[in-house]
Amino acid sequence: MRVTFLGTGTSVGVPAIGCTCAVCQSTDPRNKRRRSSLFVEAEGQHVLIDTTPDFREQALTYRIPRVDAVCFTHGHADHIFGFDDIRRYNSMQGGSIPAYGSAGTLDDLRRIFDYVGVDEPGGVYRPQIAFVATEGPFRVGDVELTPAPVRHGSKPTQGYRVQAGGCSLGYVPDCHEMPDETVALLAGVDVMILDGLRHRAHSTHLTVAESLGLLARIGAKSSYLIHMCHDLDHSTTEAQLPEGVRLSYDGLVLAW
């Protein structure tokens, strides 16, 4: 399994527009954070999790060759507003692409992108998508994905447990509370990627301390925080993390 962090930032990205804080002004490239998204390659499949407003730049920067499926965590703008750019992969691959998510998330996508899948004469360029509601584990080729429900504001939100070729991954970028059932689902994965917005409390995201508490319960072989805001400087924060937990950054590649 090979995983590329396409983005690791919160909804406004880092640097934040108009901000002159030390992190936003930092020259450390690990402090430059596009909106959070992940690209998973396993068993010959290419799975994109979320299409951020930065998706076009992410695809160009990290040379995403194809997309066999898109999996959505929820319907907030920072996770879906790059959806239209999937149409380029329709053209390159010559067919429709499945998009997976909860029924509520797919309703949001159909409402916001109401032209997706609609046939128009005259060569109108629209994404061709097969929407598939996730009610349990599903497969993309030989990659198995299991929705991992969490609480994150008012939107139906889920992460995923990904299993392929004897390797396992947990991905939950947006979370305020994680039910015991989801902790059990993710327990013991090889790699766990979890929301860790900042140190101060937030109404819809985990703090670093809260995230560390959940990671200790999940017990992954290695863990990474994601969805960070400009409160967290990469080198300073990572130096404070316990063994086995690191801060992710845009462009980080994991392979196992």
Selecting from 3.40.50.2300, 3.30.565.10, 3.60.15.10, 3.40.30.10, what CATH number does the domain 2-255 have? 3.60.15.10
Q: Which two tokens stand for residue 55?
A: 């998706």
User: Is the pLDDT confidence value at 147 over 60?
Assistant: yes
Question: Which phi and psi (to 5°) does residue 14 adopt?
Answer: -135, 125
Please write the tens of the pLDDT for every residue from 186-203: 999 999 999 999 999 999
Please write the tens of the pLDDT for every residue from 77-103: 999 999 999 999 999 999 999 999 999
Full-model pTM? 0.96
Cα(55)–Cα(252) distance, integer angstroms: 16
Average pLDDT of the chain, as a whole number: 96
